[in-house]
Each structure stands twice: as structure tokens, then as C-alpha cells.
Structure 1
Amino acid sequence: MQYKVSTLTLATLATTAVLTLGIQQAHANGAHFLVDDADITPPGECAVETWFQRASVGGASFHGLEVQPMCSTRNGWEIALPLAYNTSDSELAGYGLELKTMLSTDFYGGALALSFGVMRDHQESEFEGGFINVPYSAEISDAVMLHVNLGVEYDKFESDWNPTWGLASTFTVHERLDLIVETAGVGSDSPAAAVGFRSALNDRIELDASYARDFEDKVNVLTIGLNIAF
């Protein structure tokens, strides 16, 4: 099962009550995590990632739900359709299209992938932005994986491209339990950081959670997710 960062910023997320983490994707541990890994859903298979988020900023809180079905083609392209629902206002917030493929499984001792996507604001009925991301993953030891992300994102509201980056470590503490520590940022803004875990309930179902903090805009986000492969 693959993992990644979203395309909106935490500040935009909170102020618009659209809870789709927007620090550029580095899917290293689940769709809501900040950093993406260099992996995709096995060719010919599908998965659904679902997560609930609660964002807090300035004494106010916002809630949202995102569902992201994805399938990989036989020739190695993973296609995902993220749908964001604003539970605070009980309405569809946005939807998008994301594509991801492996570039190399042996790049300086690790794996290299490419992902890109676009997002549309359903409430405003307009294009919101897009991203291009290159995730790199390498095994440091039997229990530690390192994930590095570099990319750019387009902010339609500012009509500008901004560089993005992410860094994450996944620590295997048990056969079915990983701990995740990560940080990611956009341009020169102060980065966000998150800690979380992922637990494999069986070969097809995973439960995960994270707590993220955007230091630039002082936004806190608590997320609980469920991933099902089939």
C-alpha cells in the first residue's frame, strides 16, 4: 500500500475548513501524512484511504473527512481520486486527480518515484492548484526507512509556483507497528512537523494516526485514518 503529503497548506486548510493537509506530499505513511514514499500500490490492485481530521487554530476548530480511492495499472501508474468533505459545513469541499509512478528501484541505494496532481475547489467551482513531487526512499537499517521529497506546487490564488520539500523516518518497532516522524515545508515558510503511527491489522487493513503542527500559521491537526487494500 502506498503513502503520501496533500496539496493545500495547513493555514488554507484551517481557514477554509477543508481538512486536506496541504504541505506538499511526501506519502511516506498514509495519505494524510506529510511525506510521500517511493512506492505505489502493486500493479493491478486497488486501495481506499480514508481519514478524519480536526484542525485547531486561534481557538476555533474545523473538521473534515477525505476519501481517496486508488488503483495501479498493469504498466505501473497509480491513479488516485481524492475527495474532501467539509463536515463542519456538511458539504463537499474539493476533489482532485493524482498520478504516481516508479522511476527507479535502485537509485543510489534506494527507490525513486514521481507524482503529480491537481485539486479543484468544489465550493468555489474553480481550479485550486497542483503539485509535482519526487519522493526518494532508502533503507537505513532493518528497522529504519528514510524518505526524502522534493518538488513544486502551484498556488492558483497567488498565481505562483513554490518549491516543496519533506523529510521523514519510519521506525519499525513491531512486525505490525511503525512509528513515523516527519517534517515538510513550502518555500521559505516555517515548516510543519508531525509524529504518528501505522498499524497493520492484517494484510489488507491498516490503521494510522498523526498529530501535526504548522509553525508558520500556528495550526494543529489531529488525524485518524483507515486504509483498505483489495
Structure 2
Amino acid sequence: MYLLARPATLAAALLACQFAHAARPMVTDDASIVAPRECQVEAWTDRHPGDIQYWAVPHCNPGGDWELAAGAGELRPTPAHASTSGLLLAKTVFRPLDPNGWSAGMTLANQFGRGSGLLSNATLNGLLTFSLMDDAVRVHVNAGWLRVHEARSGPSWGVGGEWTASPRWSLTLETYGQGSTYAQAGLRYAALSGQVILDAALGDRINLRGKERYLAFGLTFTGLSLR
């Protein structure tokens, strides 16, 4: 689960082969990492009432049990008042996933901006993934702690599911939060033998009648090699 740039945009920044990684804009993370000596690049935009965010985050496994990521994002409340943020992330898996089995892992991450300090918005997140129906369905469960710069810190959580409806099309559904609770539904399309993933999602804060509704689009490139 990614971090938040500010409390009002929790859905945008709570920080991917077709099922190798739960690609953005899905907020709930999965308990898997990219293969050793492989990389992937995630890019997405979140459009909220009053602001737009753009992100690009490469992920690589240099050859061990850790996936490392470093990326950058831009928040635009207005075109004249854009601000930039950085993201550092390390992810590992303690138990790999088999069809109809389960896996476990964790992430350590930090999102930071200019003048916000080294540990601006830091998170420790535990991950579980369950494979069902011969891997046609995957369920992800996240639980962690989010330290927010100049705002209330506390536990974070997420529960999400992915259903492969066909070789190219998948559906996603999740709920997540840190203080407030959000829900999101999405559609995913795999192109070029699954090496390019296109995502679209619609989300909202529960019980606010559309006041924090957002639209997100994602593009993921997989199968990039360090060899």
C-alpha cells in the first residue's frame, strides 16, 4: 500500500506478468515480488476533486529476495501550484505463492517532498495473498502502520480481490483506509502477451456521497530484464 501525500488525498497516494504484481491504481498490495534480475515500471494518474496526481515508479529485483523501487510524482492542485514528491520502497516475500495456496510478505516505504524531512510519510505494511479457483481469483489482505508528516499517524489496512474473467480482462474490487474508509472498483486489460497492463478504476470515500470520488488510470510495463 502506497503512502499519502496529504490526508485529503488518502485515496490517491496510499501506496504488478498479469498476476505477478497487483498493478496500480489498485491500492491494496499483493504478497509477491518481481522475478530476480527483472524489472517493471508502473505509471498512473489519480484525478480527485481539486487536484490531479501523476506518478512513475520503476521496480527491480537485483537478484535476491527483495524488490526495490524509487519513483517520483507530481501533485497539481492547479497548474501554477504543482509540487513534486519522491517514493522509496523495499518489498520482500517470506512465503511464495502457489495455485490454490497463500503467500506472505511485507513492504517498507517512504514518500517525501521538499522540506518534509527524511521520514516524511513512512509505512510498514504486512501482506497476505490467497489464490483461489486455480489462480483465477486472488485475494489480498494488508495491515500496517502509517506515519504521516504533520498529520495523524495510525494503522492502515486494505482488502482487495482480482478476478481473471478472460486471458486479457480482469476485474478488481477493494476497500482500504487509514482513519477514513474508501472503496474502489477497476477494470484491467493485458496487452502484448501480458507485458503491458492497462488499468482504470473508480473510487470514493464511503458515506460521503461522491464528495471525494476519484478516477484513476494506470499503465504497467512488465518483463524488463537486468541481464
Q: Aligned in 2, Cα 1:10/1:211: closer, same or farther, shift over 3 Å? A: farther
Give identity over the alignment, percent.
Answer: 24
CA distance in 2 between partners of 1:80 and 1:182 (Å):
23
Residues 161, 206 of structure 1: alpha-carbon distance in 2 compared, 3 angstrom cutoff: same
CA offset digits 1:131-189 (Å, max 9, x no partner):
0111111112132111111111111213x641111101111100111100000111xx3
Q: 1:32 deviation in Å?
A: 2.6
The answer to whether the Cα contact below 8 Å between 1:35 and 1:168 also exists between their aligned partners in 2 is yes
Corresponding residue for residue 13 of structure 1: 9
Q: Contact conserved, 2:32 with 2:96, CA < 8 A, in 1? A: no
Which is further off, 211-220 or 94-103? 211-220
SS in 2 for 1:40: coil
Q: Does 1:215 align with 2:206?
A: yes
Q: Secondary structure at the match of 1:150?
A: strand
**1:93/1:121 contact within 8 Å kept:** yes
Number of aligned pairs?
A: 211
- CA gap of 1:93–1:178, structure 2 versus 1, over 3 A, is same
SS at 1:74 equivalent: coil
| TM-score normalised over the length of structure 1 | 0.82
Match of 2:33 among 40, 44, 49: 40
Find the aligned partners of 2:13 and 2:166 in 1 and give their Cα distance. 28
Q: Hey, which bits of structure 1, 4+ residues long, moved more than 6 A?
A: none
The DSSP-based 3-state class of the residue aligned with 2:126 is strand
Question: Secondary structure of the equivalent of 1:219?
Answer: coil
- Greater fraction of residues in strand: 1
Structure 2: state its 5+ residue gaps: none
- In 1: Cα distance, 2:21 partner to 2:60 partner: 18
Q: Which amino acid aligns with 1:51?
A: W
Q: 1:82 to 1:20 in 2, by over 3 A?
A: farther
Q: 1:162 and 1:216, CA in 2 relative to 1: closer, same or farther beyond 3 A?
A: farther
The RMSD of aligned alpha carbons is: 2.5
Q: Tell me whether 1:84 sits opposite 2:73 in the alignment.
A: yes
Q: Does 1:66 align with 2:64?
A: no
Q: Are the structure 2 counterparts of residues 207 and 32 from structure 1 closer, same or farther at C-alpha, using a change threshold of 3 Å?
A: same
Listed as ranges, the gaps of 5+ residues in structure 1 are none
Letter aligned with residue 47 of structure 2: R
Give the deviation of 1:89 after TM superposition: 3.3
Shift of 1:92: 4.2
Q: 1:106, 1:69 → 2: CA distance? A: 23
- List per-residue Cα deviations over 1:79-129 (Å, max 9, x = no partner): 11131112433644210210001111269930101101111113x453421
Letter in 2 for 1:13: T
Equivalent residue in structure 2 for 1:191, among 177, 181, 189: 181
Q: Which residues of 2 match residues 1-230 of structure 1 at below 5 A?
A: 5-8=1-4, 11-13=7-9, 20-22=12-14, 29-56=22-49, 61-87=50-76, 88-89=78-79, 91-105=82-96, 109-122=101-114, 124-127=115-118, 128-142=120-134, 143-158=136-151, 161-186=153-178, 189-202=179-192, 203-215=194-206, 218-229=211-222, 230=224
Q: Shift of residue 10 of structure 1? A: 7.2
Structure 1 distance, partners of 2:183, 2:5, is: 13
CA shift in 2, pair 1:28/1:169, >3 Å: farther
Paired with 2:166 and 2:63, the residues of 1 have a C-alpha distance of 32
Partner Cα distance (1:208, 1:151) in 2: 25
